[in-house]
Structure 1
């Protein structure tokens, strides 16, 4: 038996009224209790205008392509209002499961006024959902595979040369490291984080080949790093080592950092050098330095 009929607010047509009247009278004829009718308010844009099919940002597939999780999108819409107990006295955002939302819904809390979406809150909900997935072993495994596919698609030209860091352990480390830096998985393939997956190209390393002394510095720091135990390859310990190396070689610390940043990531700006080394790991860092040294030697030979 149908007990409640919830209809989205819209312009009422004559046929709509006729259908409802028929249902009411038919229910009475059979001795049933007629359903209770309720009309939900519209969901509007932040400026108060109506959502339109012509707007790309109301299509679910667009959000999926952008890396928005289903549960994050659901909570984003629910956050606008519409009869959920959690709206009462809420102080901060959180992700609610479908079952929790079902339990919280109360038709008496539905207001006649329209709800307005707040686009800037969607990244927050997606970030919260990402954190919850990272805390779940099964969800984490699925995220690793999703990131692997994302990176492979983005850098497919490098994949053919087996020139991508796609080991599961590395991806897990990246996900945990980046959870305070990103709001969606697609952020991981932005140009400023490409170093996580891609070895700097020869073209990118051209700047460090202009000074022949850089070769000796890279070889020396590579030797120092290779002597560390894996457990010592941590940010704070690396900072201490790099400072000591700078002092010993009488090389300005800023100059050393600029050189290492270029050699390891090909970037002029970004995370700290010790932080990049930690996330790449000892094997990954040494491989990047070996690559930079090889490029410099080739350049000097062909000069």
Structure 2
């Protein structure tokens, strides 16, 4: 006991843990030096000591104590950043511990962690790698999207969909102001918004509605089919922009350089063709698909027969199949993105054909304006 009548920490710690019937003590490695003293106190009282385990200190890549610059921050900050609880728990649990029976690169649910947990920890300091949190966040988002249960939908709404929907509506408000000629500063933000066409989702008709179920469903569907590296609400909003808005002609013109082969190097059934010919070819083929049967499987059957007939080749080398590349440009103005059949199913037949017709018009305009040489 100290001179002021209070017990020392070590004495109080042992008595307190015993009275609370603590069976396992897991603490930082800096307490390892005190463990022998604590065990001696347990022995002196004739009490059975708990099992002790010590976890290495968390340090940055330079093996320095964590600071606010590198993740030594409150849990609330992760919630503000939209990090899923399951991802943060998964990330934290693996700081100094590795499951012995996991075959999924450490990606685990809470049940998996409980099932696999053991007290065999990494020796020495533990380097905290912020990139791994992003990895787990992405994986747990994918798990939640692939299993749209009520619980997963609620989690996604709270940590992703709410924020994405808010950003989408803010962006649409900026687009509307731009159309009204209220934005005149020629800022980067204005230029970005100017490359958005009309929205294809009814997300903006009643912003005061208390029932956003339909809006959530649509944003969730857009996120589900979007193949990207997004881990935050802003990156998701960016990734799905042309699943929310139509890509305008100006954007298709800007991205047309991704279709590098000149007209003489594009072929349909081995016949030299142009980008506009390819768009027209797909329009003709997809118009024959019954709108009532417009779903992923039916679309994929059609594409299996048509996409492989389109080929292109560089200056050197044999022709390679390029149908999907042209479709992705015509539908999104991108050279990567969702699986085409899922994208077309999401857009619907009418919007799919509308986009391909616009792409055909843009390709014809670019061909007419190209210098003859």
- 1:284 paired with 2:351, answer yes
Q: Provide the residue aligned with 1:115 in structure 2.
A: 126
Q: Deviations along 1:89-123, whole A, 9 cap, x unmatched?
A: 655423131x66467655x5356633333444334
Q: Provide the residue aligned with 2:86 in structure 1.
A: 71
CA contact (8 A) 1:42 1:114 kept: yes
Q: Which runs of 5+ in 2 are unaligned?
A: 1-18, 177-197, 204-214, 257-273, 312-318, 367-373
Deviation at 1:283, TM superposition (A): 3.5
- 2-side partners of 1:90 and 1:272: how far apart? 30
What is the count of residue pairs matched by the alignment? 273
| Correspondence list, 1:86-101, <5 A | 87-88=99-100, 90-91=102-103, 92-97=105-110, 101=113
Q: Provide the residue aligned with 2:237 in structure 1.
A: 189
Q: Which runs of 5+ in 1 are unaligned?
A: 247-251
Counterpart pick for 1:128 among 117, 139, 143: 139
Call closer, same or farther: CA 1:289–1:103 in 2, change over 3 Å: closer
CA contact (8 A) 1:144 1:171 kept: no
Q: Provide the residue aligned with 1:141 in structure 2.
A: 153
Q: Which has more helix, going by share of residues?
A: 1
Call closer, same or farther: CA 1:69–1:168 in 2, change over 3 Å: closer
When the two structures are superposed, what TM-score results if normalisation uses the length of structure 1? Answer: 0.62
| Correspondence list, 1:102-251, <5 A | 109-110=120-121, 113-134=124-145, 135-142=147-154, 143=156, 146-147=160-161, 149-154=163-168, 156-158=170-172, 163-165=199-201, 170-178=218-226, 181-182=228-229, 184=231, 186=233, 187-190=235-238, 193-206=240-253, 221-222=282-283, 224-229=285-290, 230-231=294-295, 233-242=298-307
CA contact (8 A) 2:99 2:116 kept: no
Deviates more, 1:46-55 or 1:1-10: 1-10
Q: Which structure carries more relative contact order (alpha carbon 8 Å, separation 6+)?
A: 1
CA contact (8 A) 2:255 2:333 kept: no
Deviation at 1:264, TM superposition (A): 2.2
Call closer, same or farther: CA 1:62–1:280 in 2, change over 3 Å: farther
- 1-side partners of 2:60 and 2:238: how far apart? 28
- 2-side partners of 1:263 and 1:150: how far apart? 25
Call closer, same or farther: CA 1:208–1:55 in 2, change over 3 Å: closer
Deviation at 1:151, TM superposition (A): 4.4
CA contact (8 A) 1:263 1:292 kept: yes
Runs of 4+ that moved beyond 6 A? 213-217, 252-259, 293-299
What is the alpha-carbon root mean square deviation over aligned residues?
A: 5.0
Q: Provide the residue aligned with 2:186 in structure 1.
A: none
